[in-house]
Structure 1
Amino acid sequence: MGKKRKRRAEGNDSNDRQKKNPLPKEDEPKKTSNNKSYIQILGNGMDTQDTSPSILLFLDKWRFLFNAGEGLQRFLTEHKITLSQIDHIFLSRVCSETVGGLPGLLLTLAGMGKDGMSVNVSGPPDLYLLVKAMESFIPNSAMGYIDSVLRNGSDEVASASSRKFDRLFSPITDGVVKLSVVLLPPRCLKVCGSMKEGSSEPNPPLVSGSHLAEDLQAQWMNLTAEVALNPGELSVIYICELPEIKGKFYPDKAAALGVEPGPKYGQLQRGNSVVSDHQNIIVHPCDVMEPSTHGPIVLLVDCPTLSHLQELSSLQSLIPYYSNTSEQPVEMCKKVNCLIHLSPASVTSTTAYEQWMTRFGDAQHIMARHEPKNIEIPILKSSSRVTARLNYLCPQLFPSPGFWSLQQLKSLRSVSKFPRELSLPTSCQITYAENLLKFHLLPYKELGLDNSNVPATISRTEILNELTSNIPEIISASEHISQLWHGNNGIIEELQLHETPLPSCLEGITREDMEIVFLGTGSLQPSKYRNVSSIFINLFLKGSILLDCGEGTLGQLKRRFGVDGADEAVKGLKCIWISHIHADHHAGLARILALRHDLLSGTPHEPLIVVGPQQLEIFLDRYQMLEELDMQFLDCRDTTESSWEAFESNDDNDANGSASRLKNMLRQAGLMTLISVPVIHCPQAYGIVLKFADRTNVIGKKLPGWKIVYSGDTRPCPELVKASHGATLLIHEACY
């Protein structure tokens, strides 16, 4: 079953027909009952601050998810939220921060059930660029139904008029919810048409193999025909409006007016007037019912930059939702009950944003972006519990997570990074989001916040007390390991006691020479205990190397090194090597590259070398239309042993200079060779051999360099066996 699921996820199933599940049209039957509704914060990324949290809108008929950042599947698994029950994913922006978890999610759904499953996805029109990029490793059968939020509740997309941003679009208008969107571009646009910043040539047109990408691309070109806008700059504000709540029906009043029980009672409750059965009068709903109440309204606001804020403050299409405006009568204003702010602190802490928030009167504001206090509360508790237990047993092999306490963070010079407290009128209700915090919409009597589902915090002390209580002998085991590490060459003596010779390449080695961190050892799908494949080789002052970069790699770096420490680790990367095109080995790559570009912006640096299969180059080239990745690609086929020999004999084989740059990088990092070894898995799958340079110890003795071999995904493979001869460390990938 596992092979069948993976084969289908790779697109090798017999049914390559694209599955569609479009949204209801206005002329379709509408379900009008909606007894229970709430909106909930899914705190993915709250502790690591590496991705945008997701928001769940729960309705009787629908389950809507807003944004799908990296680690979303691990989060859903941890908190027992069924992925298959999500009907639609809406994206506030198209960037690695909001869509990093989408490729893996689509592939997981494609492997569910007999014929696979799919989910609807909608976002800004530049979503077509992501679709084109994902087509390099996700088959059409797994794509589901992907469309723009500009579709107005029917098959017809707004065309000429869609060039005007400041208007409402309503992709969903059924009896359960009306979902409207407002496009939010930045005020200061730097380029025109399809010209990218710093480019003198127009972006080449995409040759689409999918009508999905063609349709979305046409919408994007139409939208930007008269406006200068770069892909990735457009944000979306979502407005969720529930239908009005009918007032209470009084049967005694209806009877007094001569209406007999039966179908006419139902007509009155549906808002229709009826003729009295016993009196010569027309009975209106207002005669027998309390006045209706406006349905709850929720806004999701993602204002990523200050230039977007300038546009946000002047949007005319939001005027009906302001409570204190002189631009329209009070009776025309729609009362907003809750606003969820996905905007970063650099925006929300400004006076201009605060003034904009006050326009909504006494609405509940939930600040769902990264808050410093959340770094103390692990989102993946199962994993953090295991980490704490292993750290107790052997802190040298299993370091504690790199998060600082809030008190420690505030004592650092980086305290200036923390946003100031919002200073709003007391009428504005502000809550800082917590994981699984709810805001109830229906029943109306329960309208408001509900923190009953917010997980209780568990301290390290509580975890260890539970551990020592359940396994008392672990105390002596921990003490024994500590004695080995802190004794006089204790570990070496232990090895010699078991007649295990210490390799000469490890003589005099210290932790500062090299550290290997297993960021992910899971397979196929993320679990609540382990992340998917990624290995971080830390060479400290000489930089670092990543072997594979599955979804959530950045989050794992932050769990290991802390929020700021992970940024330093990303800046210090010299090379990322990807074994093959399966998503569980590279879906976190774009997020790492985009972050590195941002961190090093304004600092002289060279593009990061990425070594991988040819299909990965196609994905990265297309994705760079959305975000600047600042990388130089080298095909794994150009790093095999035979390719290196050909390069050494003739430099002309290195057309774009990538091999020369890689060789220089290896020399600076103290490595002699990086060799990709073909293995038996999917097409263009590789293992890797890293051979470090010889070194001299303190007494002048020359010591051989160590050798690391990583198998990648493979079946038994003679080439890898041969390449592993003399290896100091052989790492077998977890999947096979």
Structure 2
Amino acid sequence: MWLAKLQTSCGCIKLQTNGRFIRNLTTQHSRMSCKTITVDQDDEIRKLPDKYERQPNVLRKKFTSGVPGTVNLQVLGAGANGSPSSVYLFTDQARYLFNCGEGTQRLAYEHKTRLSRLEHIFVTRNTWTTVGGLPGLALTVQDVGVRNLGLHGPPQLDTMLQSMRRFVMLKNLQIDTIDSTQRELFEDSILSVQPVVLTSELQPTQEILSYICKLKPRPGALNLVKCVEHGVPPGPLLGKLKNGQDITLPDGKLVRSVDVTEPGETALSFVFIDVPSEDYLPSLEAQATEYKQLAGSELTEVALVVHFTPTEMTAQAAYERFMADNFSPGTQHIYLNSALNKFSGCVAANRIQYQLNQLHPHIFPLLAESLELQDSCPSLNLSQNLKKTKLEDEQSNEEPTQTEQAAQGVGSMSSFHLRPRKGLDRTLEAKLNPEEYIKETHAVPGFTELLAQLQKETEALKITESSSYPRIIFLGTGSCIPNKTRNVSSILIQTAPAAYMLLDCGEGTYGQIVRLFGRERTQEVMRQLQAVYVSHLHADHHIGLIDLLLQRQKLQPAQKLLLLAPRQIEPWLNFYNRQIQSIAEAYTLRGNGELLDEPLTDESVQCMGLSAIATCLVKHCPSAFGISLTLQSQFEGEPIKVTYSGDTMPCEDLVELGRNSTVLIHEATMEDDLEEEARIKTHSTVSQAIQQGRDMQAKHIILTHFSQRYAKCPRLPSTDDMQQVAIAFDNMQVTVEQLQHYHKLYPALLAMYAEYTEELEQRAVKRELKQERKRKLAQT
């Protein structure tokens, strides 16, 4: 995109992008000489002077003029099926985020909710529920150029950020923490945010925040006839009057803005409320006067209340009574975390699973989330039966009652328009359409025939669901940060009928488990989860651990979780336990380094269906480990051995650790053409990973941890090299028996993603041509 500055006949200065004018931010008058700078409020501005390209925050302040014309509240996550509860307030000038639970960044990426203009985050609690997504989101906004971010919330946020510095490297992003319990008003040109503090006698150190937000009202239109009557000359004085400022004319006459403008709009307010437990209800009721005055004021209208409050609390009679007594019937309510919120918003994960499920329904099972949705509304083919709202039905003059709103539930990407039109809008709400996903694949030339051939072979070989162990379940197969189809590293291994072990625990791991297994089955899996292994302390391998510990702790399991991790994780866990929430009783830590000389073979291992756990150091970062699991179950008369590389470049110690493995799970971050980049980043290419497996004489190799540039399918070597090699997808689960036949899936799989793999080939050709030009230039 390019920008050009053009001057109109009336003296206005406009910015033009790609040959089209962009909407002005200020009112222009053809008879007056005025200078107005305009910017595209919807598209990213890419080619600007360096200081603006590096600092979008500065860019917003440079070009902001007047009160924004568009203000929407967008539900990023509705708290359903492991998704976060977070709301994005966006205007045509700036963006604000309310709560940042684990998985917020992934939903923002999937639904193209741009974070480049994010300036402030407001959190209601200093717990993982509200800040667990902050590490991933901070890295993302740093990459898109944000340089300053305000973080508002309870005390200790700055300490939490400091404790994260070891694994979240923020070189170019400055996060300023503001203790909102001091009740100081936040105010800018768009809105004011007043924190309301809730306290509990049972938990006096844990203060909870709610927020009362008031939009700056838009001034009425300038009445030019009245301006002439009051003797206001053309020029900048008109702009001041338009923006609500009173002026003094050269002759000393005072002209008030209200005398020359039409009546302005009533200021709109909206409220975020979070009451985590009953012991905070007395504090909420003590604030009743403040909310009642807000609702009863003639100067403002309370348009919306967003409830971060847990669903069990919103059903309390005292809570319902408080809402009825302190807000008018015209106020609408959005209940996050409600059991009626059925869908996480992860459309792409369900889309790819429906497509892969055609290849093998047991290796690629449909997510329980989609099956539960189908059970709740089978006739609608998973698209929820949502009531029309005021915006969707122009004929309806009736506002839905609070009870009716609550009964509908809400989904990711629902919006509430505050300006220019007020009301709930569900037209963009995330929904599923399985028929569409399947039709996409059958539209690919040759796929239907290859699928029929695969199904015929599968039936002849009797490749069905296997009851043997281990069952290897991939929860996250991408690297660095989550994208919409590949979450970050996490592998769940069912080692025995009632025993699970987790290899790495990246952000959103618990959410992946809930969406795959469903709510009830997840509780069973979490109780049977006996060990978590963390290969190294990069955020994409362990940031989901806190939520996992908290969720398992709620179930009051019979024994602590065995945590195998680098000892350097201890300060972070101790800080969280001491300052935020108690988790010390949830786990027992054993350092990975303690297993270097002597494998772990004690009773804690035996009860998981294992006979030994061993580790080795690998070539990635300090204290990065690989691991091997030797199972009690056998395959072809020998104990089954599963080796996992973690992140590493080719490593001899890993080869020795995994010697004669039944299954090697190895990272394959880069395609073969990017070997030098892989070496610099201490990762492996696809062929290097395969060679590692051959060197250790592994019977089967599974590739994972793909760069997010390979969102659907990585660029692979020839199919002859893939006979004993499987590529992992999120939510894929395999046994050793099924791995023997995995290579039969490749013809149909590659046909399904032919367009995508062709694009990867074209990129590779362009890279090679570019490198060739560089070589020739170097020679000359």
Query: Relative to 1, partners in 2 of residues 1:285 and 1:41: Cα closer, same or farther, differing over 3 Å?
Result: closer
Corresponding residue number in structure 2 for 1:38: 71
Q: CA deviation at 1:511?
A: 2.1
Query: Relative to 1, partners in 2 of residues 1:320 and 1:261: Cα closer, same or farther, differing over 3 Å?
Result: farther
Corresponding residue number in structure 1 for 2:290: 318
Corresponding residue number in structure 1 for 2:624: 685
Corresponding residue number in structure 2 for 1:711: 645
Query: Relative to 1, partners in 2 of residues 1:267 and 1:139: Cα closer, same or farther, differing over 3 Å?
Result: closer
Q: CA deviation at 1:476?
A: 4.7
What SS does the corresponding residue of 2:467 show, helix, strand or coil?
Answer: coil
Q: Distance in 1 between matches of 2:141 and 2:248?
A: 53
Query: Relative to 1, partners in 2 of residues 1:448 and 1:676: Cα closer, same or farther, differing over 3 Å?
Result: same
User: Which one scores higher on RCO, CA 8 angstroms, separation ≥ 6?
Assistant: 1
Residue 190 of structure 2, aligned match among 164, 170, 176:
176
Higher strand share: 2
What SS does the corresponding residue of 1:141 show, helix, strand or coil?
Answer: coil
Q: CA deviation at 1:320?
A: 5.7
Query: Relative to 1, partners in 2 of residues 1:39 and 1:285: Cα closer, same or farther, differing over 3 Å?
Result: closer
Q: CA deviation at 1:112?
A: 5.4
Q: CA deviation at 1:351?
A: 2.1
Amino acid at match of 1:343: T
Query: Relative to 1, partners in 2 of residues 1:364 and 1:733: Cα closer, same or farther, differing over 3 Å?
Result: farther
Corresponding residue number in structure 2 for 1:357: 323
**Deviates further, 532-541 or 100-109:** 100-109
Q: CA deviation at 1:90?
A: 1.9
What SS does the corresponding residue of 1:624 show, helix, strand or coil?
Answer: helix
Q: CA deviation at 1:264?
A: 5.1
Q: Distance in 2 between matches of 1:634 and 1:427?
A: 51
May I ask how many residue pairs the two structures share in their alignment? 588
Q: Distance in 1 between matches of 2:128 and 2:250?
A: 64
Corresponding residue number in structure 2 for 1:237: 210
Q: Distance in 1 between matches of 2:453 and 2:248?
A: 90
Q: Distance in 1 between matches of 2:249 and 2:56?
A: 43
Q: Distance in 2 between matches of 1:384 and 1:591?
A: 23
What SS does the corresponding residue of 1:313 show, helix, strand or coil?
Answer: helix
Q: CA deviation at 1:398?
A: 0.8
What SS does the corresponding residue of 2:116 show, helix, strand or coil?
Answer: helix
What SS does the corresponding residue of 1:592 show, helix, strand or coil?
Answer: helix
What SS does the corresponding residue of 2:302 show, helix, strand or coil?
Answer: coil
Q: Is the 8 A contact 2:563 2:587 kept in 1?
A: yes
Q: How does 1:444-483 map to 2 (within 5 A)?
A: 446-455=421-430, 457-471=431-445, 473-483=446-456
Q: CA deviation at 1:426?
A: 4.3
Query: Relative to 1, partners in 2 of residues 1:400 and 1:287: Cα closer, same or farther, differing over 3 Å?
Result: closer
What SS does the corresponding residue of 1:304 show, helix, strand or coil?
Answer: coil
What SS does the corresponding residue of 2:226 show, helix, strand or coil?
Answer: helix
Corresponding residue number in structure 2 for 1:370: 337
Structure-1-length-normalised TM-score: 0.73
**Deviates further, 573-582 or 393-402:** 393-402
Q: Is the 8 A contact 2:630 2:640 kept in 1?
A: yes
Q: CA deviation at 1:543?
A: 1.1
Q: Is the 8 A contact 1:70 1:97 kept in 2?
A: yes
Q: Distance in 2 between matches of 1:684 and 1:98?
A: 30
Residue 414 of structure 2, aligned match among 437, 445, 449:
437
Q: Distance in 2 between matches of 1:272 and 1:469?
A: 61
Q: CA deviation at 1:684?
A: 0.5
Q: Distance in 2 between matches of 1:143 and 1:615?
A: 25
Query: Relative to 1, partners in 2 of residues 1:410 and 1:624: Cα closer, same or farther, differing over 3 Å?
Result: farther
Q: Distance in 2 between matches of 1:131 and 1:311?
A: 28
Corresponding residue number in structure 2 for 1:584: 540
Q: CA deviation at 1:185?
A: 2.2
What SS does the corresponding residue of 2:88 show, helix, strand or coil?
Answer: strand
Q: Distance in 2 between matches of 1:677 and 1:556?
A: 28
Query: Relative to 1, partners in 2 of residues 1:478 and 1:356: Cα closer, same or farther, differing over 3 Å?
Result: same
Q: Is the 8 A contact 1:519 1:536 kept in 2?
A: yes
Query: Relative to 1, partners in 2 of residues 1:577 and 1:45: Cα closer, same or farther, differing over 3 Å?
Result: farther
Q: CA deviation at 1:55?
A: 0.9
Q: CA deviation at 1:717?
A: 0.7
Q: Is the 8 A contact 1:184 1:234 kept in 2?
A: yes
Q: Distance in 1 between matches of 2:485 and 2:250?
A: 67
Q: How does 1:112-511 map to 2 (within 5 A)?
A: 117=147, 119-139=149-169, 141=171, 144-150=174-180, 162=182, 168-170=183-185, 172-186=186-200, 188-190=201-203, 228-229=204-205, 233-262=206-235, 265-271=238-244, 284-315=256-287, 318-319=290-291, 321-323=293-295, 331=298, 334-358=300-324, 359-375=326-342, 377=343, 379-403=345-369, 404-406=371-373, 408=375, 426=401, 430=405, 432-443=409-420, 446-455=421-430, 457-471=431-445, 473-487=446-460, 490-491=462-463, 510-511=466-467
What SS does the corresponding residue of 1:83 show, helix, strand or coil?
Answer: coil
Q: Distance in 2 between matches of 1:546 and 1:44?
A: 25
Deviations 1:255-308 (A, max 9, x none): 345555555544544555567899x98654444333333322111112222222
Corresponding residue number in structure 2 for 1:593: 549
Amino acid at match of 1:722: E
Q: Distance in 2 between matches of 1:720 and 1:350?
A: 56
Q: CA deviation at 1:542?
A: 3.2
Q: Distance in 1 between matches of 2:595 and 2:346?
A: 38
Query: Relative to 1, partners in 2 of residues 1:578 and 1:291: Cα closer, same or farther, differing over 3 Å?
Result: same
What SS does the corresponding residue of 1:54 show, helix, strand or coil?
Answer: strand
What SS does the corresponding residue of 1:119 show, helix, strand or coil?
Answer: strand
Q: CA deviation at 1:672?
A: 0.9
Q: Is the 8 A contact 1:363 1:428 kept in 2?
A: no
Q: How does 1:655-670 map to 2 (within 5 A)?
A: 663-670=602-609
Q: Distance in 2 between matches of 1:259 and 1:715?
A: 73
Structure-2-length-normalised TM-score: 0.69
What SS does the corresponding residue of 2:67 show, helix, strand or coil?
Answer: coil
What SS does the corresponding residue of 2:503 show, helix, strand or coil?
Answer: strand
Q: Distance in 2 between matches of 1:236 and 1:76?
A: 24
Q: Is the 8 A contact 2:495 2:610 kept in 1?
A: no
Q: Is the 8 A contact 1:41 1:434 kept in 2?
A: no
Q: Distance in 2 between matches of 1:98 and 1:407?
A: 30
Corresponding residue number in structure 1 for 2:124: 92
Corresponding residue number in structure 2 for 1:609: 562
Q: Distance in 1 between matches of 2:67 and 2:468?
A: 60
What SS does the corresponding residue of 2:510 show, helix, strand or coil?
Answer: helix
Q: CA deviation at 1:75?
A: 1.5
Q: CA deviation at 1:485?
A: 4.6
What SS does the corresponding residue of 2:355 show, helix, strand or coil?
Answer: helix
Q: How does 1:692-707 map to 2 (within 5 A)?
A: 692-693=631-632, 703-707=637-641
Q: Distance in 2 between matches of 1:425 and 1:101?
A: 33
Corresponding residue number in structure 2 for 1:83: 115
Q: Distance in 1 between matches of 2:602 and 2:168?
A: 33
Q: Is the 8 A contact 1:709 1:731 kept in 2?
A: yes
Q: CA deviation at 1:372?
A: 4.1
Q: CA deviation at 1:74?
A: 1.9
Q: Is the 8 A contact 1:250 1:288 kept in 2?
A: yes
Q: CA deviation at 1:677?
A: 1.2
1:720 equivalent to 2:654? Answer yes
